A and B are shown apart, each in its own frame.
Chain A
Amino acid sequence: MADKDYYTEGVPLPETPPPGADPAPWGKTNAIGARHTRVDAYERVSGTAVYPSDIILPDMLYGAILRSPHPRARVKKVDAAKATAMPGVRAVLTADDPLARNILWPWSSKLSKPLFDATCRFEGEAVAAVAAESAALAHDALRAIVVDYEILPPMVEFEKALDAGAPEVQEGGNVANTVAYARGDVAKGFAEADAAVEETFRTACEIHTPLEPHGCVARWDGDSLVLWESTQGVYNIQSRVAEVLGLPLSRVRVIGHYVGGGFGSKLQASKHTIIAALLAKKAAQPVKLFLTREETLLAVGNRPPTLMTLKAAAKKDGTLTALQFTARGSGGAYPAGGVGSLDWLVKDLYLCPNVKSDMTDVFINAGPARAFRAPGHPPGSWALEQTMDLLAEKLGMDPVDLRLKNIPTVSQGREGSPPYTSTGLRECIVRGAEEFGWREARRRAEETRSGPVRRGVGMGAGLWIAGGGGPPSTVVIKLFADGSVNLNMGASDIGTGTKTVMAMVVAEELGAKPEYIQIEHADTGTTQFATGSGGSKTVPTESPAVRAAAIEVKRQLLALAAEELKAPVEALELRGGEIVDKREPGKKTRLAALEKLKKRGVIVGVGYRGPNPEGKIVNPFSAQFCEVEADLRTGEVRVVRFLGTNDSGRVMNRTTFDNQVHGGITMGIGFALTEERILDAGQTGKMCNRNWHDYQVPTALDVPPEIVSSPIDAPDPQANTTGAKGVGEPATIPTAGAVANAVAHATGVRLRETPITPVALNRALAGWKE
């Protein structure tokens, strides 16, 4: 293969900045911003991609965890004799096993408990574990372990967690945290208002359930541990495992090349990894331990349920004068941020001088929460966007106009109200409304009021508290002697297309074709450091580091070429695949023809993610518009169409960007219309719907036939050197609120609780007559 196949021939490349100087923002781009097929598309559609759950190792055993079936219980006795004796069972671990008994699991920075805790605080707590020759045998063995539980009355209703006499989830009571905030004077704000609304809202506990269950394969090479983990962040897993097992980081290698989804639930280590490692040590064989689907609904995180009250007031021209928010949430049985960022949108999204927020996070005997795609934001948006619509109604204003009246240019929720590097909030709303045909659609929907099947439109706007990324990140690019390229980075590609975007950055800076870039990633043993892929921070964190590494390669390459060609380095410029002497443009030298490069073998460029701009905030913004059809006779809601606009700075790869928007909206539809964890409150406290039959995530028939993604695509040169912000989370923040507003518009009834199922809508329409 000729080296010129590796490059977009002769394409002009961005100027190489002198050492120490930041590169200029890209002008007109060649690779970046276009639509690009994923670089690993072949692997994903051919089935050759090896996910951690696909790994088969020689002599591998299968692990399984015995979990408490009771939400609150004490383990009095564990009898694993029968399980241990079963043919095919190679290792059994209980709390008193020498390998396990001193292991402490850190639930939070302040709270650690034994790995197999005798006090079970949620249904799904780990009690024991086995490794056997097959998964079926491992589960047979679990069934043969006899546990004597003292069953205790559980506390599973977070609204009642602070009632007198409520069972204690944690020693010291059921308050996990309280958060208070105030700016301005809300009393004054309410006093000077012309209209006010106050409503109470409730959002259900939502569970991530990515398609690939959580799990890992653990193998010891002597005293070193290798883990193939289904994770969003190999370094996150490495650090927690090393800490818990007391190993140096250099003896824990975590590999996570592919992961079947995470949505936040795989950003942190879980007990199963430690358990798999201990089983592997005990059996002296590798152990594959993947959770069953039922376990993933119980024990690896969720979005906290919330109860929120929001009072909002405005002048008659729509200017907000006060927002008062109180809320309660639950992060489950351990400290897990039950009200994390729940009030952020109230504090930051719409311009308002007087804001007060009081939130309480309580413990309940249920699975601990984990960050779930924009923690706190979709529930907060559910309350805020519906409140804005209620206010608009009272003021006789169009909902879009009310939002546009209250657009901030600074981050009011942060100390000192720092400005955003860019805010496309206004443009998202204006552009979205126009492309959606908002006013016309609203009018047409109102014409359907005469019949029982009615249309409604609704909208919501949003921002995400993070999404600007930041250090640390290290990327290494290796230029081989034939001019082909190796890109080495730590970040996982969780399905968002990270690898493709980074390859496109290399393409933009070096002219190298993405399909010829060898990408190594997500391996703590061999790839560079990156934080977990989540929080909409991966593109803004990694792409500048990749750009920096590519620039380093260019600097060294030009210096080497200058030596070889005996030309001043300022006279040389790099174009796709070739060095050109600006003084004699016809004089071109192919990279592969450089003798010094051949002799040196490789050029290595290291790039680091630099700091974010001082005193400024980098956040992405979004607005979404939807149309629904509601049948008032049966309470059924159908989503007819959806449109999402986003200000995420520069759109790096339009293909994967749009897919994120589709995905965020689909997930938001689940939050709005179908998903809810149901606990057997008042009786056993167990989870009623711990499978995908009863915990309902949207199917192909529950999404509209078409979802339009129309990004603003305005590079943000102040944010970072690629001008990009994240999109994964803003794509799902305003969705549910928009749906609720559309349903209210269609039916005249406001649904304040998620999900809006036919059950809920029938209840709400109980008074409706034809």
Chain B
Amino acid sequence: MDRDEKDNSCHCRGITRRQFLHGVGAGAVVVTAAAHIGAREAKANEVLPAGELAKIALKINGRRHVLLVEPRTTLLTVLRDGLGLTASKAGCERGECGACTVLIDDVPRYACLTLAVEAQGVAITTLEGLMRGEELGPVQQAFVENDAFQCGYCTPGQIVAVEGLLRAVPEPTFDQIRVGVSGNLCRCGAYVNIFAAAKSAAALRKKG
């Protein structure tokens, strides 16, 4: 397929994540542009054909995004490749590591196992959504103070998992903390400090 004969889709462009985010605004973002755009709205009962783009709306970190996705596009791909929200990481894309953990209606879930078309009508929160402007949220702050990371790649998922835990159980026991992050691998082995960070985050959150 000749470059010049590209279809009329808008590609994701951006050099840095921040620049990219500024560029997107509320416009439609195409995640893949392999076939023609069907521009169907994803209504129940209507078949979304394979390889064709369907229009969906996702609520991410409080903002509504209208997107064109294939049925097979995962929420993780939308976040990272489509919207430049690269805090959620791809570690395995099979639900076996937790690096892609996001909150869906406050509950920790793997974005890699969530189809974008399945993520409509729910509130999606990523690590970026835990920031208060450019200020760190309490869980993030606790991770800093407790050195709860090394290479940092599992860290977004860990923080979101802890945030989800604390939303459900504001004062977890030590065992509840360990279980709360048991779906997040850390190959660098920073678990022990992660436990401490979660405990301290509970206290920080209480202070507000």
Binding site for B on A (CB under 8 A): 37-38, 41-51, 53-54, 56-59, 87-90, 133-137, 208-213, 258-263, 284-285, 290, 292-293, 494-497, 655-656, 658-660, 662-667, 691-693, 697-701, 703, 705-707
User: Which residues of B have CB within 8 Å of A41?
Assistant: 143-144, 147, 149
**Is there contact, CB below 8 Å, between B187 and A211?**
yes
Q: Flag whether B48 is at the interface (Cβ < 8 A).
A: no
Is B113 interfacial (CB 8 A cutoff)?
A: no
B87 at the interface (CB under 8 A from A): yes
Cross-chain contact B188 with A261 (CB below 8 angstroms): yes
Give chain A nearest CB distance to B98 CB in angstroms. 9
Q: Is A703 touching B188 in the complex (CB atoms < 8 A)? A: no
Instruction: Report how far A699 CA is from B161 CA in the complex, Å.
Output: 14
The stretch that binds A, out of B15-23, B37-45, B103-111, B117-125, is: B15-23
Partner of B89, one of A260, A659, A705: A260
- Pair A691/B92 contact, Cβ less than 8 Å: yes
Tell me the B95-151 residues at the A interface (CB within 8 Å).
96-97, 99, 126-128, 131, 136, 140, 143-145, 147, 149-151
| Chain A: CB-nearest residue to B147 | A655
Q: Mark each residue of chain B from 74 to 101: 1 if its CB lies under 8 Å from any CB of chain A, else 0.
A: 0001001100111111111110110100
Cβ-defined contact, A137 with B34, below 8 A: yes
Interface residues of B in 186-208 (CB under 8 A from A): 186-195
- Max chain B CB contacts within 10 Å: which of A59, A136, A208, A693? A136
Q: Which residues of B contact A497 (CB under 8 A)?
A: 150
Taking each of B89, B127, B188, which has the highest tally of chain A beta carbons within 10 Å of its own beta carbon?
B188
Q: Which residues of A contact B34 (CB under 8 A)?
A: 87-88, 133-134, 137
- Shortest CB-to-CB span from B99 to chain A, Å, is 6
Name the B residues within 8 Å of A258 (CB-CB). Answer: 151-152
Residue of A with least CB distance to B95: A693
**Does B57 interact with chain A (Cβ within 8 Å)?**
no
Given contacts A53-B89, A57-B15, A284-B3, 10 further A-B contacts (CB under 8 A): A46-B87, A51-B153, A88-B1, A90-B3, A211-B89, A212-B91, A691-B96, A692-B92, A692-B96, A707-B192
Q: List 7 A-B contacts (CB under 8 A).
A: A38-B147, A88-B33, A293-B97, A662-B190, A665-B189, A666-B191, A700-B195
Q: Are A691 and B94 in contact (CB under 8 A)?
A: yes
| B86→A54 contact, CB < 8 A | yes
A37: chain B residues within 8 A (beta carbon) = 144-145, 147
Q: Are B178 and A705 in contact (CB under 8 A)?
A: yes
Residues of B within 8 A of A260 (CB): 89, 151-153
CB–CB A56/B94 < 8 A: no
List residues of chain B with CB within 8 A of the CB of A700: 178, 181-182, 184, 186, 191, 194-195
- Also in contact, A46 and B192, with CB within 8 A (given A212-B89, A212-B91, A260-B151): no
How far, in angstroms, from A213 to B92 measured CA to CA in the complex? 8
User: Shortest Cβ distance from B85 into chain A, in angstroms?
Assistant: 8
Query: Which residues B144-190 have CB closer than 8 A to chain A?
Result: 144-145, 147, 149-156, 159, 174, 178-179, 181-182, 184-190
B191 in contact with A49 (CB, 8 Å): no
B49 interface residue (CB < 8 Å to A): no
Known: A496-B150, A700-B194. A47 touches B86 (CB 8 A): yes
CB distance B94 to A293 under 8 Å?
yes
CB pair A659 B190 closer than 8 Å = yes
Which of B12, B31, B35, B136 interacts with A56 by CB under 8 Å?
B12
Q: How far is the CB of A654 from chain B (nearest CB, A)?
A: 10
C-alpha gap A192/B171 in the complex (Å): 64
Given A46-B136, A47-B127, A213-B91, A697–B195 Cβ distance below 8 Å? no
Task: Give complex CA distance A378, B151 in Å.
Answer: 22
Q: Which residues of A contact B136 (CB under 8 A)?
A: 42, 45-46
CB-CB under 8 A from B35, the residues of chain A are: 87
Closest to A496 in B: B150
Please, which residues of chain B bring their CB within 8 A of the CB of A58?
Answer: 11, 13-15
Q: Are A667 and B17 in contact (CB under 8 A)?
A: no
B97/A56 in contact, CB under 8 A = no
User: Are B33 and A133 in contact, with the CB atoms below 8 A?
Assistant: yes
**Which among B17, B96, B155 is the interface contact of A693 at CB below 8 angstroms?**
B96
Given A47-B87, A707-B192, verify A56-B14 contact (CB < 8 Å). Answer: yes
Is A54 a contact of B152 with CB atoms below 8 Å?
Answer: no
Interchain nearest-CB distance for B101 vs A (Å): 12
By a CB distance below 8 angstroms, the chain A residues around B81 are 56, 134-135
Contact, CB under 8 Å: A662 / B192: yes
Check A48–B17 contact: CB distance below 8 A: yes
Kindly list chain A residues whose C-beta atoms are within 8 Å of the C-beta of B87: 46-48
Are A698 and B159 within 8 A (Cβ)?
no
